[in-house]
Chains A and B, each alone.
Chain A
Amino acid sequence: MYLTLLRHKWRKSTRSSFFRQGWGVKILMAFLGLYFSASFGLLGYFAKDIVSSAYDEPLLLSPIFMGFVLYYLLADLVLRFFLQDLTVLTVQHYLVLPIAKPKIVNFLLGSSIFSFFNLLPLFLIVPWAIRVVAEEQGSSSAFVWFAAMLGFILTNHFLAIYVKRVLAVNAKIFASIALIVALTFLGDFMGWFSINDLSIWLFGPIAEQAIVGLVSFGLLAVIYFVNFRFLLGMTHLDRWKVAAKEASTTRFSFLEQRGPLGLMMANELKLITRNKRTKTILWMTLFFSAYGLIFYTNPMYSESISWLLFVGIFMTGIFLINYGQFLVSWESAYFDGILTRAYRMEEYYKSKYYLLAFSALVMYILTLPYAYFGMQAVYINTACFIYNVGVNTLVLIFASTYNKKPIDLSKGSAFNYQGTGAAQFLIIIPLMVVPMLMVYAFDLLWDGNYGLIFLALLGLIGILSRNYFIKQTVLNFQEKKYINAAGYRQQD
């Protein structure tokens, strides 16, 4: 029976939308996977040399490593809270079939172990066990230590999914968990208490006395049983029903009184503020307005006008690049409606233009405090702002007529690459690299400030001739819309 269920799960993942995505995303994901595996593997392998080089005389390393364990497990737990997703109720369709419920729950829990988050720690633990523990305390101790660590990691795994389920994950709980962990690390840093000592006290005995290793499996058994009991009690569908969130009453009524253009902009603002993935973009946008601090405080970059320009384009354009490259895809769920309603497509695209331009204006205002680093920062950001509104916005709007991948707005955004294709990576080049190179060329041959003027001029030309470019966009759209509509209708 478990085998059949496992086969279903295998089919589910191999037939999922992820594998139907384009090569761009697959390569990116494979690259990320390899990158993390390699960095963990290398860290695991060389940890011994790194630590021993910190001490002048040779000494036992095991206790030092035991001091790290608690740090690691805490960090691991936090990462899991934020990134690991719950493949919860994919068992609905088994509930009415003659399969014992405990079996279904066991399967659900058991199969959750096959996660990248459980594979990653092995890259650290295995080399530690072999290179440090085995050498200093013998291979049988190393084996016990390894097994015990495995137990702790799986305990973390089940603890994370239990807490995530019970607390019905929301932003406040996320924030408070992050705060608690941050305070713990802060307390450790300030010397109020020592995670290191605690860790040695907790994990030190494991390598010395095999019997203590059983503790980790005891913990694992307890947390597994807690999960099991919880899920078994939740095998009725109505137990999962979450009350639909009350609708927001934010109306943007100022815009709604401004004809079709305003109505559409108001709708799009509602789209952005009422859906998970777009809300994440908003938060990211705020966060990245501080990105310039890295560049302005580092002389390697702050001396170079082209780097500062790069970060200027990035900061004033972060929203329009992030949101704009999926333009229309966001609205894939009701694309048929877009095509039949009583407005002209030119108005539709104009509303997008003004929305993106407005976002650049907001970001520009947010970056004004960079004047602290001198007026040059303001000049650069002003040129970037004008260029973003006059050139990048129009490029993105035109590029959107080639979007045909649907986006499900209700899905969260960590590791969500839905709607992403190779085009999304390539578009960064014209948007950010080209203006940077132009200013670099001016800087090299003449004076970087003329480059700024040149960019601003290009932007102004774009702004003045925006209607022409929007018209071209609509012409292209009319040609492509049937293909796009067919693509958007293929919701998963």
Chain B
Amino acid sequence: MAMSIISIKNLEKSYNGATVLNIGELEIEAGKSFGLVGNNGAGKTTLFRLLLDLILADKGEVLSKGVNVAKSEDWKLYTGSFIDEGFLIDYLTPDEYFQFIAGLHNMSAGDLEATLETYNDLFADEIRGKKKYIRDLSKGNQKKVGIVGALLSSPDILILDEPFANLDPSTQFRLIEELERINKETDITMLISSHDLGHVAKFCERIVVLDKGEIVKDIHTNSETLQELETFFIQKIKGAASEVVEE
């Protein structure tokens, strides 16, 4: 087994007495792509927020490269993330926003330009060079800005919550291509949640299913994964008891 870059130990979070997340142990290997699926309220965003030290765990800890994220700020330098618009400085133009992020990572103007060029297809000529603030962009375009902002610094860890929601079909395909390319060419560790089982099954090497805050499936993706996931979620509507499947 590869070295794990993120380790979760006995992580528990509850709101008003109701447990929303309870993960005994989860190791995320470096350089792999990790998909997270689950219905609304399953705890996906809660897990990501805990990974980013945005909320405080009631119990347990998240170690990033062996260091507790709540105790040190080092992880910020190598983690790129986009959860929602709450990450975007909305009174900046997209270009200013990218320059700000690049500045924080000491990227030169040339490097920034070269990196942004690779996303030209994704931007579809609606993002750069326009005299528009981020707050005046559509939801989909705001999302593109956020995702590219997270990728900009070539992070070791990338965390994206529902990156495909609100994007038009072309952009979804383009984004998957791009993520696949980055996954192949670099040793980035990707954590991506989605409601679209197809997208996740397509390029995540490992998929974890959350249900009511607990891990109910942990799959190393193969040709039957999509089928397996679909069966699981169909059974959920039919009320079949979900059981933990160990692999």
Residues of chain A having any CB pair with chain B under 8 Å: 244-247, 249, 251, 256, 259-260, 263, 267, 270-271, 274-275, 331, 333-337, 339-345, 409-410, 482, 485-486, 489
Question: Which chain B positions have C-beta within 8 A of A333?
Answer: 85-86, 90
Chain B binding surface, main DSSP class? loop
Name B105's contact: one of A267, A342, A410 (CB within 8 Å): A342
Tell me if B99 is interfacial: C-beta within 8 Å of chain A: yes
- CB of A340 within 8 A of CB of B103, answer no
Given A244-B132, A247-B133, A263-B104, are A337 and B91 also a contact pair (CB < 8 Å)?
no
- CB of B104 within 8 A of CB of A339, answer no
Name B91's contact: one of A244, A246, A275, A342 (CB within 8 Å): A275
In the assembled complex, 6 residue pairs joining A and B whose CB atoms fall closer than 8 Å, in A order, are A244-B133, A334-B88, A337-B87, A339-B53, A345-B73, A482-B56
Which residues 82-135 in B have Cβ within 8 Å of A in the complex?
A: 83-93, 96, 99-101, 103-105, 130-133, 135
- CB of B132 within 8 A of CB of A270, answer no
- CB of B132 within 8 A of CB of A271, answer no
- CB of A337 within 8 A of CB of B153, answer no
Residues of chain B having any CB pair with chain A under 8 Å: 52-56, 73, 76-77, 79, 81, 83-93, 96, 99-101, 103-105, 130-133, 135-136, 153
B211 to chain A, nearest CB (A): 24
- CB of B90 within 8 A of CB of A342, answer no
- CB of A341 within 8 A of CB of B104, answer yes
Question: Which chain B positions have C-beta within 8 A of A409?
Answer: 91
A246 to B93, CA, bound (A): 10
- CB of A267 within 8 A of CB of B84, answer no
B88 to chain A, nearest CB (A): 6
Nearest A residue (CB) for B153:
A342
Nearest B residue (CB) for A344:
B73
Question: Which chain A positions have C-beta within 8 A of B91?
Answer: 270-271, 274-275, 409
A344 to B132, CA, bound (A): 29
- CB of A336 within 8 A of CB of B54, answer yes
- CB of B136 within 8 A of CB of A244, answer yes
Question: Which chain B positions have C-beta within 8 A of A343?
Answer: 76, 104
Top 7 closest pairs, chain A to chain B, by CB: A244-B136, A337-B87, A336-B86, A482-B56, A247-B131, A246-B131, A274-B91
A489 to B56, CA, bound (A): 15
Question: Which chain A positions have C-beta within 8 A of B54?
Answer: 336, 339-340, 482, 485
B74 to chain A, nearest CB (A): 10
Question: Which chain B positions have C-beta within 8 A of A246?
Answer: 131-132
Name B81's contact: one of A256, A260, A340, A410 (CB within 8 Å): A340
Nearest A residue (CB) for B49:
A336
A344 to chain B, nearest CB (A): 5
- CB of A263 within 8 A of CB of B133, answer no
Most central of A251, A331, A337 by chain B CB within 10 Å: A337
Chain A binding surface, main DSSP class? helix
A489 to B87, CA, bound (A): 11
* 13 extra interface residue pairs, beta carbon distance < 8 Å, beyond A244-B132, A249-B131, A334-B87: A247-B132, A267-B89, A270-B96, A331-B89, A333-B85, A333-B90, A336-B84, A337-B86, A339-B54, A341-B76, A342-B77, A409-B91, A410-B135
A485 to B50, CA, bound (A): 13
Question: Which chain A positions have C-beta within 8 A of B132?
Answer: 244, 246-247
- CB of B100 within 8 A of CB of A267, answer yes
A261 to chain B, nearest CB (A): 11
- CB of A334 within 8 A of CB of B90, answer yes
Question: Which chain B positions have C-beta within 8 A of A335?
Answer: 86
Question: Which chain A positions have C-beta within 8 A of B52?
Answer: 336, 339-340
- CB of A337 within 8 A of CB of B88, answer yes
Name A340's contact: one of B79, B93, B99, B135 (CB within 8 Å): B79
A337 to B84, CA, bound (A): 9
A323 to chain B, nearest CB (A): 15
Question: Which chain A positions have C-beta within 8 A of B131?
Answer: 246-247, 249
- CB of B135 within 8 A of CB of A336, answer no
A249 to B95, CA, bound (A): 11
A344 to B76, CA, bound (A): 9
Nearest A residue (CB) for B99:
A256
B205 to chain A, nearest CB (A): 25
Nearest A residue (CB) for B150:
A340
- CB of A341 within 8 A of CB of B101, answer yes
A343 to B53, CA, bound (A): 14
A482 to B56, CA, bound (A): 6
Nearest A residue (CB) for B79:
A340
Nearest B residue (CB) for A256:
B103
B115 to chain A, nearest CB (A): 15
Most central of A247, A270, A340 by chain B CB within 10 Å: A340
B150 to chain A, nearest CB (A): 9
Question: Which chain B positions have C-beta within 8 A of A340?
Answer: 52-54, 76, 79, 81, 87
